């Protein structure tokens, strides 16, 4: 997700960005409709994992895509009328829940973005004041920029991001950290084959 200071300070812009990421998807008439229903069920499943991981932005995107695909896009598919399958029944059974969760997450994210905007503006004011004070102590602007960059790096390391931190204690349990957007990226890469009604397989590998 976009995390620049300007974006963080504008909660409305952040909501527009995330809503655009969850925009309605077009369906291809050459792709069997049951494959779309299978994708819907996978979206719902992955969204649940995102909730467990507290990745609420990505969960919101998956739930919104689920709802938009099921309600807006699939009815335009040539096989929609009269079609029935276990995958369709499964997707329709959780459609209401996906809609409720999407709305709940939307309100939750709005509140989160507004709170973060306040903190970001306060932090920006403090940084400006600190820079003025530092320059007043005969430091050059270049020195101030270098100092701020160093502090950003230190702060990032202190945050202990799961994507970059390595803990040797995990080796005993053979734990593997998988990127949250792995499924989404794979679906995008496989879209060319999907449009040609060709299955795409992949092997997830890693090293410890």
What are the structural domain ranges in the chain? 5-137+172-196
Q: Which of the 8 DSSP states describes residue 23?
A: P
- Integer Cα distance of 113 and 60 in angstroms: 14
Q: List pLDDT tens digits, range 37-71.
A: 999 999 999 999 999 999 999 999 999 999 999 99
Task: List, as one string, the DSSP characters of 143-181.
Answer: HHHHHHHHHHHHHHHHHT-TTT---GGGGGGT-----TT
Q: List pLDDT tens digits, range 185-199.
A: 777 777 777 767 677
- Integer Cα distance of 95 and 75 in angstroms: 14
The domain 5-137+172-196: what is its CATH number? 1.20.58.80
| Structure tokens that stand for 135 in this block | 């320059």
What pTM value is reported for the model? 0.59
């Amino acid at each position: 997700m976009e995390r620049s200071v300007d974006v963080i300070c504008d909660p409305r812009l952040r909501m527009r960005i995330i809503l655009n990421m969850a925009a309605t998807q077009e369906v291809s008439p050459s792709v069997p409709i049951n494959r779309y229903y299978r994708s819907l069920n996978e979206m719902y499943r992955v969204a649940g994992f995102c909730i467990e991981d507290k990745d609420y932005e990505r969960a919101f995107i998956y739930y919104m895509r689920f709802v938009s695909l099921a309600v807006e896009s699939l009815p335009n598919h040539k096989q929609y009328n009269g079609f029935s399958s276990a995958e369709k029944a499964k997707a329709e059974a959780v459609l209401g829940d996906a809609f409720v969760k999407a709305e709940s997450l939307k309100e939750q994210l709005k509140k989160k973005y507004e709170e973060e905007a306040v903190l970001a503006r306060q932090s920006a004011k403090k940084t400006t004041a600190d820079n003025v004070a530092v320059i007043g102590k005969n430091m050059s602007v270049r020195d101030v920029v270098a100092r701020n960059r160093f502090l950003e790096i230190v702060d990032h390391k202190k945050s202990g991001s799961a994507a970059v931190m390595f803990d040797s204690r995990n080796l005993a349990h053979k734990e593997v950290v998988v990127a949250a957007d792995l499924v989404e990226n794979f679906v995008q890469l496989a879209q060319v084959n999907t449009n040609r009604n060709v299955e795409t397989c992949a092997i997830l590998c890693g090293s410890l």
